[in-house]
Amino acid sequence: MQEKRKTREGVPTFGTPFFYLCIRMLTEKTMEKLRILAESAKYDVSCSSSGTVRKGKQGMVGSTVGGIGICHSFADDGRCISLLKVMLTNYCMYDCAYCINRRSNDIRRATLSVSELEEITMEFYRRNYIEGLFLSSGIVRNPDYTMERLTAIARDLRTVHRFNGYIHLKAIPGASHDLLAEAGRYADRMSVNIEIAEERSLKLLAPEKDHQSVFQPMRLIQQGVLENREDRRRFRHVPRFVPAGQSTQMIVGATQDTDRDILTMSSALYGQPSMRRVYYSGYVSVNTYDPRLPNLKQPPLVRENRLYQADWLLRFYHFKVEEIVDECHANLDLEVDPKLGWALRHPEAFPIDINTADYEQLLRVPGLGTKSAWLIVNSRRFNRLTSYDLRKMGVVMKKAKYFITCHELTSGYAMPIVGINELHPERLRPLLISKTQQKRAAEERQLELPFEENPH
């Protein structure tokens, strides 16, 4: 079987003979629109595993296999999962400074009709290019007009084409409650992008938007999810409403907002029962002519990665925002991961005895993950653990050995291990940072440019 070719974003490579052979049913005009709109959609990263299961049904086309949602990344079992990531149109009535599709930009524009997008989705699925659809759109005419077309596509795919795969829809800020409620009956996941954490920064770059317009559809979707959850408890057959919940995206590096501002917003969003993921997108300098934006040579990828690590600590490691970032450390350390950074700032919390510490304490140890902490708690009931046992459990001893004690920690080492309190954080830090990490952090710091105080 000939391997399908993909770009970095995962969309099949346009222009290859094999690709055109597979989609010969589509017209050249439609394909040209698809090229433009797929390129415009690549800056939205708020798509991932859905967490929903749509089993195969008789008379239906498609499914989501094994409970793993359709995403444009890798699944837990290593499978590469793909979806059609496209915009309905890249025309937009707004002029947001950070957006490639802003009204004032002189770029190629295109619009797919509802029937064209449905045909593309089904043709790609039948040829095994995709397992689902991620659909967004620029806002044209008014929010209701745009949301009505997105809803019509999801409705027709489910009811007319009998498509049972994954569908992720963008909820348009300002759209009516009825349209959002109808879209939620057909979509697996919906998302509304916050983009900028601080409202003053959002007003600077997107004067036509505010946080209230974003939070309103979020609240409506959350209300629908909670009502549907209650209905499913009371009634046997109730269609699901946005079963995979919501997601959102925040841009990193386009404004002076600190990591503390971004993580504070993320923590508040995770307090909502329907919010599943917050995504962080390093700002890509697409509108270099706008003085309100920093002129970066490349996106702040190291900072983006540190935010994802901090996000993981908030969701699974029982950390609070003020423990990860505070007034003295408003931005994350680029050289070390957030958990190691916290440990170096709090040597008084260590060492931790592996054989007596509770689960929450174990999660604070650098080099220990949720799985290894769970294994430690369950294994030590039968025997005292040693460093050999910890290695077998997947503990990263290169980090953890400075923060723990156990039955013995000298086996395999020429001399007893000296902990953080004996070495002191300032001496331990260089031992835990590789030259590659130092180089990447230094390169990214060099890319930081001062913002203008009063841009014109």
Helix (H) or strand (E) holding 74: strand 73-74
Q: What single letter denotes the amino acid at residue 56?
A: G
Q: What's residue 62's pLDDT? A: 55
SS3 call for 411: coil
Q: What's residue 147's pLDDT? A: 95
Average pLDDT in the chain:
83
Cβ–Cβ < 8 Å for 244, 50: yes
Tell me which range, 65-69, 148-152, 409-413, is most confidently predicted by mean pLDDT. 148-152
Over residues 68-90, the mean pLDDT reads: 61
Q: Cα–Cα distance between 224 and 178 in angstroms, integer? A: 11
Where exactly does CATH 3.20.20.70 map onto the chain?
28-49+66-324
Query: Both tokens of residue 99?
Result: 């957006």
In b/e form, how buried is each residue of 122-157, taking b as 16+ CB within 10 angstroms?
A: bbbbeeebbbbbbbbbbbbeebeebbbbbbbbbbbb
Pairwise pLDDT comparison (76 vs 396), residue with the higher score:
396
Give the global pTM: 0.83
In 3-state terms the chain splits into helix, strand, coil percentages (rounded to 5) of: 40, 10, 50
Closest CA to 87 of 136, 122, 134, 42: 136
Over residues 9-25, the mean pLDDT reads: 46
The pLDDT of residue 80 is above 80? no
Q: What's residue 297's pLDDT? A: 83
> How are beta strands 275-282 and 352-353 bridged, if at all?
unpaired
Name the H helices within 59-198: 114-126, 143-159, 177-186
Token pair 């946005």: residue: 242
SS3 call for 432: helix
Over residues 300-306, the mean pLDDT reads: 93
Pairwise pLDDT comparison (11 vs 376), residue with the higher score:
376
In b/e form, how buried is each residue of 184-205, taking b as 16+ CB within 10 angstroms?
A: bbbbbbbbbbbbbbbeebbebb
Pairwise pLDDT comparison (216 vs 447), residue with the higher score:
216
Angle at 226 between CA 224 and CA 227, to 5 degrees: 65
Q: Cα–Cα distance between 418 and 171 in angstroms, integer? A: 54
Q: What's residue 452's pLDDT? A: 52
Query: Both tokens of residue 247?
Result: 């997601």
Over residues 133-153, the mean pLDDT reads: 93
| Segment 272-295, tens digit of pLDDT | 999 999 999 999 888 888 889 988
Q: What's residue 296's pLDDT? A: 84
Helix (H) or strand (E) holding 276: strand 275-282
pLDDT tier at 422 (50, 70, 90 boundaries)?
Answer: confident
Closest CA to 368 of 409, 337, 411, 347: 337
Over residues 358-376, the mean pLDDT reads: 95
Over residues 206-231, the mean pLDDT reads: 92
Closest CA to 345 of 323, 370, 317: 323
Over residues 386-406, the mean pLDDT reads: 90
The pLDDT of residue 111 is above 60? yes
Q: Cα–Cα distance between 261 and 330 in angstroms, integer? A: 8
**DSSP letter string, 350-386:** --EETTT--HHHHHTSTT--HHHHHHHHHHTTTS---
* Summary count for the chain: helices (H), strands (E): 18, 10
Q: What's residue 417's pLDDT? A: 63
Q: pLDDT over 70 for what percent of the chain? A: 82
Pairwise pLDDT comparison (243 vs 3), residue with the higher score:
243
Angle at 19 between CA 2 and CA 128, to 5 degrees: 65
Over residues 311-334, the mean pLDDT reads: 94
SS3 call for 279: strand
The pLDDT of residue 341 is above 50? yes
| HSE-up (13 A, CA, CB side) for residue 264 | 14
DSSP conformational letter for 198: S
Least confident of 15-19, 185-189, 295-299: 15-19
Pairwise pLDDT comparison (225 vs 447), residue with the higher score:
225
Q: What's residue 150's pLDDT? A: 96
Would you put residue 444 in left (φ > 0), alpha (ψ -120 to 50) or beta? alpha
Q: With 0-12 CB in 10 A as exposed, 13-18 as middle and 19+ as buried, what is 55?
A: exposed
Cβ–Cβ < 8 Å for 266, 278: yes
Pairwise pLDDT comparison (348 vs 453), residue with the higher score:
348
Closest CA to 436 of 343, 345, 341, 334: 334
Give the total residue count for the chain: 456
Over residues 192-199, the mean pLDDT reads: 92
Over residues 331-352, the mean pLDDT reads: 94
Would you put residue 62 in left (φ > 0), alpha (ψ -120 to 50) or beta? left
- Residue 431 Cα distances to 360, 395, 414, 451, angstroms: 26, 18, 17, 35
Over residues 116-131, the mean pLDDT reads: 86
Q: What's residue 451's pLDDT? A: 54
| Preceding omega of 351 cis (within 30 degrees of 0) | yes
The pLDDT of residue 203 is above 80? yes
Q: Cα–Cα distance between 279 and 286 in angstroms, integer? A: 19
| Segment 35-72, tens digit of pLDDT | 888 888 877 776 554 445 555 566 666 554 433 233 45
Over residues 342-359, the mean pLDDT reads: 93
In angstroms and rounded to an integer, the radius of gyration of the C-alpha atoms of the chain is 24
pLDDT tier at 244 (50, 70, 90 boundaries)?
Answer: confident
- The arrangement of secondary structure in 28-49+66-324, i.e. its CATH architecture, is Alpha-Beta Barrel (3.20)
The pLDDT of residue 438 is above 90? no
Q: pLDDT over 90 for what percent of the chain? A: 51
